[in-house]
Amino acid sequence: MSTPTLPDGLVIVVKHECETCRLVVPVISQLKAGTVPVTVYTQDDPSFPADVSAIHDADLAVSWHNDIETVPTVIKVEHGREVARTFGWVRDEWHALTGRSDLGFDLPAFRPGCGSLSVDPDLVDALRARFGGSVLSARRVETAAAEDEFEAMFDRGWTDGLPVVPPTEERVLRMLTGTTRAPSDVVAVVPPDLVDVTVEKIAINAVMAGCKPEYLPWVIAGVEAVCNDTFNIHGVLATTMPVGPVIVCNGPGTRAIGMNSGMNVFGQGNRANLTIGRAVQLIIRNVGGGRPGEVDRATHGNPGKISFCFAEDELGSPWTSLAESRGVAPGRNAITVFPGEGPRCVVDQQARDPESLCNTFAACLRTLHNPKLVLAFDAIIVMGPEHSRVFAEAGWNREKVLDEIHARLQLPGSELIRGANGIAEGVPAHLKDATLPKFRPGGLLLVHAGGGAGLFSAIIGGWANGDVGSQPVTREVTT
Amino acid sequence: MTTLLDPTNERRVQTMERVGRPESLNGLVVGLLDISKPRGDVFLDRLEQRLSEMGADVRRFKKPTFTKPAPVDLRHEIATQCQVVIEALAD
């Protein structure tokens, strides 16, 4: 739909419902009687203003295309182009814009305007679809009148096993208001089919996942973070191991969008946590073509492959954030993606001193995947507040905590070689005299999250690490 | 009726015809692709021995890591050198 051209002279947009618009009717009449052409558009009542002939902006096209946010708005037009505008009733501004200094002296000097119908929350989505829908290039799929659209989306294979929100033009355009990026921008190449994914396709899948527009930048950053050779989402998807992308969110934006970093942090009940991770996984499925039983060959998988996304509790943490420890400037929004299995609990309710608590973490971490396998897998420690307090009271910083845990995980090869302790799995026999660390340098990530009560923490085990597998990736989140 | 936006890649899959199965491997170049999973080489060593006995000209190839697709140069090398390929999948 082309943008309507405004007539030269003065253009005034009003609605009857607005008290300020009714207040300025005598001024509009004065202007109409002058030499400059005046065109009045009325948004609601075609007979308003009563004494002035007005054009009914019934479909709000004029208001929409001219970004009218407040009524009354006065626009000065020369040769078809806007050269000035004012809104509400500000006498001095009306005088300056119209070149008339005799207007409205019997009115107060200032009255604020009212919201334009074209930005009415009840109407704006439909208007955006009507006038802005052409920016969307995705194929339109029509469901039959008698067809249940939720069932139709299951039938088409678009869901992760749970119902999804129907991605209508209105919803997708509203989702796109969450980013400044153009719908046609290519964000990444998505494995396994290696397909370009645009901001528009991400927005469609974000709608389906149940995201709000303000989550969209986090979803875009998530897609960027996993779709590269470093994170290797192809391998994370295809592996028989039970891993998926775990998304750890940092920065003030996590609080602005209401993410959970506290009680039940990995659990149900928080829309942002659950839908951001879900959107990323839906994009791998729908755009990348990565589906269970096809390229996804997981032996067991894990429930987090639907969504595993949470925020770090930065305000309650005694330490710098995960993102800062990975090079992001303080106060910036960022995500870190990690190829992780489901979380397991670390219980130590007797912990009062940091050495003892480190012994517990080391003993639990040693069992990761197999107590006799070393160096091949990374892990995230998600430290609960009652555990972190023990370290904080002893004055241990993030590096000290990790160094002490690493120091306790230097393991004798004789315990790790194949066959030792009656277990066939293990490292090759020639390593029997070596001392081997459970984790490679940097292979332990530390995040602070969880509820305030409970001397518990969590471990999220990783997948084949390094260049042969996947590396954690941290990305700033930008709008 | 509801109009939905397609969330998929809207890809149209191209079907390609397979090369015909050879009557015999005698004299053919057979590529063995090791995907770098542990002990895949044990399997391929045995295959190489058996195929050589059958008169095949066996060439060995190896992916850098089992977690990622074969690099395009490796795929090109195999495609231009071999008439038959056997890929050893683990697990």
Spell out which residues of chain A touch residue B70, defining contact as CB-CB under 8 Å: none
Let me know if residue A356 belongs to a domain. yes
Residues A166 and A111 placed together within one structural domain of the fold: no
Are B68 and A229 within 8 A, CB to CB? yes
Nearest C-alpha neighbor of A136 from the set B10, B12, B73, B60? B10
For range A452-461, the mean pLDDT: 97
Domain that holds residue B57: 29-88
- Measured between alpha carbons, how far is A463 from A381 in angstroms, rounded to an integer? 15
- State the total domains in chain A: 2
pTM here is 0.86
Give the minimum alpha-carbon distance from B16 to chain A in angstroms, rounded to a whole number.
16
Let me know if residue A144 belongs to a domain. no
Q: Establish, for the pair of chains A and B, how many residue pairs have beta carbons separated by less than 8 Å.
A: 93
User: Would you call A201 an interface residue with chain B, using a CB distance cutoff of 8 Å?
Assistant: yes
For range A209-226, the mean pLDDT: 98
Residues 6+ apart with CB under 8 A from B23: none
DSSP at A388: H
Q: Closest partner residue to A287 among B1, B9, B36, by Cβ?
A: B9
Residues 6+ apart with CB under 8 A from B21: none
In this predicted structure, the answer to whether residue A225 has a pLDDT above a threshold of 80 is: yes
Nearest C-alpha neighbor of A475 from the set A235, A253, A275, A262? A253
Q: A238-249: per-residue pLDDT in tens?
A: 999 999 999 999
- State the total domains in chain B: 1
DSSP at A69: -
Domain that holds residue A377: 153-476
Name the token pair of A78. Answer: 């020369």
Poorest-confidence range of A1-15, A366-380, B26-40?
A: A1-15
Poorest-confidence range of A404-408, A449-453, B41-45?
A: B41-45
Q: Closest partner residue to A235 among B3, B6, B68, by Cβ?
A: B68
Residue B87's pLDDT is 77
Residue A411 DSSP SS3: strand
Q: How confident is the model at residue A332 (pLDDT cuts 50, 70, 90)?
A: very high
Q: B52-87: per-residue pLDDT in tens?
A: 999 999 999 999 998 898 899 999 999 999 999 887
Residue at which a domain ends, from A75, A104, A120: A120
Give the minimum alpha-carbon distance from A137 to chain B in angstroms, rounded to a whole number.
9
- Measured between alpha carbons, how far is A188 from A223 in angstroms, rounded to an integer? 7
Residue A2's pLDDT is 57
Nearest C-alpha neighbor of A379 from the set A435, A350, A338, A436? A338
Let me know if residue A135 belongs to a domain. no
Are A234 and B67 within 8 A, CB to CB? yes
Are B68 and A232 within 8 A, CB to CB? yes
Q: How confident is the model at residue B40 (pLDDT cuts 50, 70, 90)?
A: confident
In this predicted structure, the answer to whether residue A136 has a pLDDT above a threshold of 70 is: yes
Residue at which a domain ends, from A74, A103, A120: A120
Residues A432 and A318 placed together within one structural domain of the fold: yes
Let me know if residue A17 belongs to a domain. yes
Let me know if residue B1 belongs to a domain. no
Let me know if residue A357 belongs to a domain. yes
Let me know if residue A25 belongs to a domain. yes
CATH number for the domain spanning A102: value is 3.40.30.10
Residue A3's pLDDT is 67
Name the token pair of A71. Answer: 């009524």
Residues A116 and A174 placed together within one structural domain of the fold: no
Are A287 and B69 within 8 A, CB to CB? no
Q: How many residues belong to chain B?
A: 91
Let me know if residue B69 belongs to a domain. yes
